[in-house]
Structure 1
Amino acid sequence: MAYTAADVKNLRERTGAGMMDCKKALDEAAGDFEAAVDALRAKGLAAAAKKSSRTAAEGLVGVAVSGTKGVAVEVNSETDFVAKNEQFQDFVRKATEVALETAAADIEALKAAAYPDGGTVSEKLTNNVATIGENQQLRRLKHVSVNAGIVVPYVHNAAATNLGKIGVLVALESEAGADVLEPLGKQIAMHIAAAFPQALSVEDLDPTVLERERKIALEMAVEEAAKSGKQIPEDILAKRADGAVAKYAKENALLSQVFVMDNKTPIQQVVDAAGKAAGAKIALVDYVRFQLGEGIEKEETDFAAEVAAAAGLK
């Protein structure tokens, strides 16, 4: 079966593969267009698997809300260039919407969910890896919800609508109207983006983190006592360490953090005051703050050395 230059062009547009790869695939498929598509997809899948070992720490965070429910999803890529790609942005947006609509409990459930354009979310992602040419990974998701009230989304430095490098959701439980809850939620979301709380309340903070802080504070107290040359009782040193931990907890729990808008009022008081003014109790019951790539160790590479190695230079 013969093929034309137009077939090569169409195959390239359909698959995103290189011109010579498309020509070779059509040659091997004896001009059968669909067989060539399948062959390139198969090669693309192999390439995608090979790329999966490369560090993906760029990408986008997507947020989606519907009334009393919301979800945030992080999708990683290797470079910021891909994060600006419309195909990648469309995938992040739709994958986030799928997570919200299906109430996917985790990333594996999201991967198995049906994608709007056909197939599964996982299959679409694999196809994107093959056509865009970079490793991409669905990393994490988190849902928040309220029985009555609203979930307010916020994206800091948005790359597109509901897509950016820091995605925040604020869950406000209340019978108050949206005219009260939306602006309050937006201000709290902006605070969360800036202040980076570690948990909703002091009680929710990770005990292992607090214990580590206590050990550090105790070591510092002992060192300061040694430098001063004074004999300070162990119970006094322990109290100093406990005080340092209490300060750390207060500064890292959202409800006790000082509101960045006025630098003096704890968030809990901000919420209470808004509820009093509205004549309806408001409770900040949950939140999400996803910052792109947090916790991922990026590989440090020497680009000049890589170029020299590729060129056979020393």
Structure 2
Amino acid sequence: MSITAAMVKELRDKTVAGMMDCKKALAETGGDMEAAVDWLRAKGIAKADKKSSRTAAEGLIAVASEGNSAVVVEVNSETDFVARNEAFQDLARSVATVALGTDGSVETLGEASMPSTGKSVNDSIKDAVAHIGENMNLRRSAKLTVDNGVVSTYVHNAVADGLGKLGVLVAVKSDGKTEVLSTIARQVAMHIAATNPLALTSNDVDATVADRERSVFIEQARESGKPENIIEKMVEGRMRKFFEEVALMSQAFVMNPDQSVAEAVKAAEAEAGAPIEIAGFVRFQLGEGIDKEESDFAAEVAAAAKG
């Protein structure tokens, strides 16, 4: 039976085994797909078989910078134990480095070539799944670039250089002194790590989020039994407070709570010798938004004991 490229690809997608291994498995089994899977498993090649269905909510956030650009990526694994593995850390760091040469989107990054393997990032991760033995994936990535200024990176509680569970990028536009811009940008990045703002300014807060908060405030105000005109004023006051708390530039600066972030940036302009604009930020916290599977450890041990 003729072994086609489509058959090899299908087997590779099922097992994450190498292309030549898949071709050989199909040849050995006369093109029978399920038998080829079993052949690979018997040879210990299809280590990633069925791993892709398992939740990967651990892993690492990796950052990298070059010139006036910086990137942050999230590469997930199933367990924190694997995230502490040097091979996995090298993988995450390499993915971030590759991201610097892309537009920053996870789609483009996944197809970009990994110099260390000669394969795409996605295929390199699949190979790592087979090697390390856990499900892994490239979940997301982002890139910030400025024409003039700096893009600062910050990793909170870094486990290695540029690697941790929470990473932040801050883009600063300015013609001022680079060292001053780098200092204020890093301080703002640390602030963002601590406060997790929803947007840069109040005007940037998602309208759906703001409307939901307004609805809650209206219901709370009506509980007071006050007239509608008073309720309207109460709600507007609470919305101002809400925007102040969730918009970066109006938040109290963690380095000096007597100042807002906007005031701290303004104060840095004198030393920088030029106006400073916070052009944007990105904050990635490992696993945020992923529904983690809760396991019963005792039950797992009991099941294992039964064989």
TM-score, normalised to structure 1, is: 0.81
Shift >4 Å, 4+ stretches? 39-47
How much has 1:301 moved relative to structure 2? 1.5
How much has 1:160 moved relative to structure 2? 0.8
The count of corresponding residues between Structure 1 and Structure 2 is: 272
Q: Which runs of 5+ in 2 are unaligned?
A: 1-16, 18-24, 29-38
CA distance change for structure 1 residues 79 and 163 in 2, over 3 Å: closer, same or farther?
A: same
**Most deviating of 90-99 and 40-49:** 40-49
How much has 1:222 moved relative to structure 2? 2.0
Kindly indicate whether the alpha-carbon contact (under 8 Å) linking 1:150 and 1:172 is maintained by their aligned counterparts in 2.
Answer: yes
What's the counterpart of residue 60 of structure 1? 60
Q: Deviations over 1:176-207 (max 9, x none)?
A: 12221111111111111111111111111111
Opposite residue 107 of structure 1, the aligned amino acid is V
Kindly indicate whether the alpha-carbon contact (under 8 Å) linking 1:156 and 1:164 is maintained by their aligned counterparts in 2.
Answer: yes
**Most deviating of 41-50 and 304-313:** 41-50
Q: Distance in 1 between matches of 2:45 and 2:159?
A: 29
Q: Deviations over 1:224-272 (max 9, x none)?
A: x1xxxxx411232232122212211111111111100111211111111
Q: How does 1:1-314 map to 2 (within 5 A)?
A: 46-48=46-48, 50-104=50-104, 106-117=105-116, 118-223=118-223, 225=224, 231-312=225-306
Opposite residue 188 of structure 1, the aligned amino acid is V
Opposite residue 241 of structure 2, the aligned amino acid is K
How much has 1:155 moved relative to structure 2? 0.7
Kindly indicate whether the alpha-carbon contact (under 8 Å) linking 1:57 and 1:79 is maintained by their aligned counterparts in 2.
Answer: yes
CA distance change for structure 1 residues 208 and 301 in 2, over 3 Å: closer, same or farther?
A: same
Q: Distance in 1 between matches of 2:119 and 2:189?
A: 35
- Root-mean-square deviation (CA, aligned residues, Å) is 2.3
Opposite residue 153 of structure 2, the aligned amino acid is P
Q: Distance in 2 between matches of 1:289 and 1:77?
A: 19
How much has 1:152 moved relative to structure 2? 0.9
What's the counterpart of residue 20 of structure 2? none
Aligned residue for 1:63, secondary structure, equals: strand
Opposite residue 210 of structure 1, the aligned amino acid is A
CA distance change for structure 1 residues 49 and 212 in 2, over 3 Å: closer, same or farther?
A: farther
Aligned residue for 2:54, secondary structure, equals: coil
Q: Distance in 2 between matches of 1:211 and 1:47?
A: 49
Aligned residue for 1:93, secondary structure, equals: helix
How much has 1:310 moved relative to structure 2? 3.8
Opposite residue 238 of structure 1, the aligned amino acid is E
Opposite residue 283 of structure 2, the aligned amino acid is R
Q: Deviations over 1:76-113 (max 9, x none)?
A: 11111111111111111111111112334x21211111
Kindly indicate whether the alpha-carbon contact (under 8 Å) linking 1:41 and 1:130 is maintained by their aligned counterparts in 2.
Answer: no
How much has 1:309 moved relative to structure 2? 3.4
Kindly indicate whether the alpha-carbon contact (under 8 Å) linking 1:44 and 1:127 is maintained by their aligned counterparts in 2.
Answer: no
How much has 1:67 moved relative to structure 2? 1.7
How much has 1:307 moved relative to structure 2? 2.2
How much has 1:48 moved relative to structure 2? 2.6
Q: Deviations over 1:46-92 (max 9, x none)?
A: 54351111111111111111121111101111111111111111111
Opposite residue 241 of structure 1, the aligned amino acid is V
Kindly indicate whether the alpha-carbon contact (under 8 Å) linking 1:45 and 1:126 is maintained by their aligned counterparts in 2.
Answer: no
Kindly indicate whether the alpha-carbon contact (under 8 Å) linking 1:45 and 1:127 is maintained by their aligned counterparts in 2.
Answer: no
Q: Deviations over 1:156-193 (max 9, x none)?
A: 10111111111111111011122211111111111111
Aligned residue for 2:137, secondary structure, equals: strand
How much has 1:145 moved relative to structure 2? 1.2
TM-score, normalised to structure 2, is: 0.83
**Most deviating of 274-283 and 43-52:** 43-52
Opposite residue 278 of structure 2, the aligned amino acid is L
Q: Distance in 1 between matches of 2:239 and 2:209?
A: 10
CA distance change for structure 1 residues 43 and 286 in 2, over 3 Å: closer, same or farther?
A: farther
CA distance change for structure 1 residues 43 and 242 in 2, over 3 Å: closer, same or farther?
A: farther
Opposite residue 112 of structure 2, the aligned amino acid is A
Q: Distance in 2 between matches of 1:144 and 1:49?
A: 37
Kindly indicate whether the alpha-carbon contact (under 8 Å) linking 1:168 and 1:192 is maintained by their aligned counterparts in 2.
Answer: yes
Q: Distance in 2 between matches of 1:295 and 1:56?
A: 12
Kindly indicate whether the alpha-carbon contact (under 8 Å) linking 2:200 and 2:247 is maintained by their aligned counterparts in 1.
Answer: yes
